Amino acid sequence: MNALAGKVALITGANGGLGRFVTQAFLAAGAKVVGVSRSIQASDFPHPGFAALPAELSGGEAARKTAGDIMTRFGRIDVLVHVMGGFAGGTSVAETDDATLDKMLDLNYRSAFFMARAVLPHMRQQGGGRILAVASRQAVEPGVMVGAYSASKAALVALIRTIALENKDRNVSANTVLPGTMDTPANRAADPKADPLQWVQPAQVAALLVHLASDAGAQVTGAAIPIYGRQV
């Protein structure tokens, strides 16, 4: 399958628990993948279509440099897949400290804002592109004791919907996916008594992102797509 042949995809958090599946799926679909994270290396994905770009995306200037470096090397950015994120929970809103709130906003919202802002001028100039972000079921169905996390993911959904509205004139689509609990090593370690067969498989999330990035998903935009598996 070469649904993404000739496309250049920037994947943040490319070597994380979900990011590995996403990166492998995009490479299998024929895309050239630039994987971005703090510690990523070319050896993480020994594939001729993969390039590693170690970067810290905590600020706007770093995001602009990342996008500029990719444009210099490849001449275009067709897809941004923002997988980078984090989780913190276990306290009520009344008991959540400033550091936890800042961490959730930095990992789940600000980094996506900075990266999307950095790639959008290039996508608009080339006349098209796809912006995809991994949010969470809790962005639209908040639970107790995860207020900062849920709010940061809800902000991400609102951001991507806004991007879809603002850039439809240049054929730039933007969507989020909303996974339930995923079967990742981190989640297995955090909840060893749970039945992972009830959880969403990361490969399914990755396949959905590939579809949205392909020509077959061209008319899907402004959507927040649930992927709940048996947790529906």
Considering the chain, what percentage of its residues have pLDDT values greater than 70?
Answer: 100
pLDDT at position 191 over 90: no
Which amino acid is it at 29?
A: A
Residues in the chain: 232
Q: Which pLDDT tens digit goes with each residue over 123-149?
A: 999 999 999 999 999 999 999 999 999
d(CA 209, CA 35): 15
Nearest residue to 196 (alpha-carbon basis) of 216, 181, 215, 211: 181
pLDDT at 58: 82
- Residue 42, SS3 per DSSP: helix
Domains defined for the chain, CATH in brackets: 8-231 (3.40.50.720)
Residues 6 or more apart from 178 whose CB is under 8 A from it?
135, 136, 137, 139, 140, 157, 224, 225, 226, 227, 228
pTM metric for this prediction: 0.96
Residues 6 or more apart from 114 whose CB is under 8 A from it?
57, 58, 59, 60, 62, 63
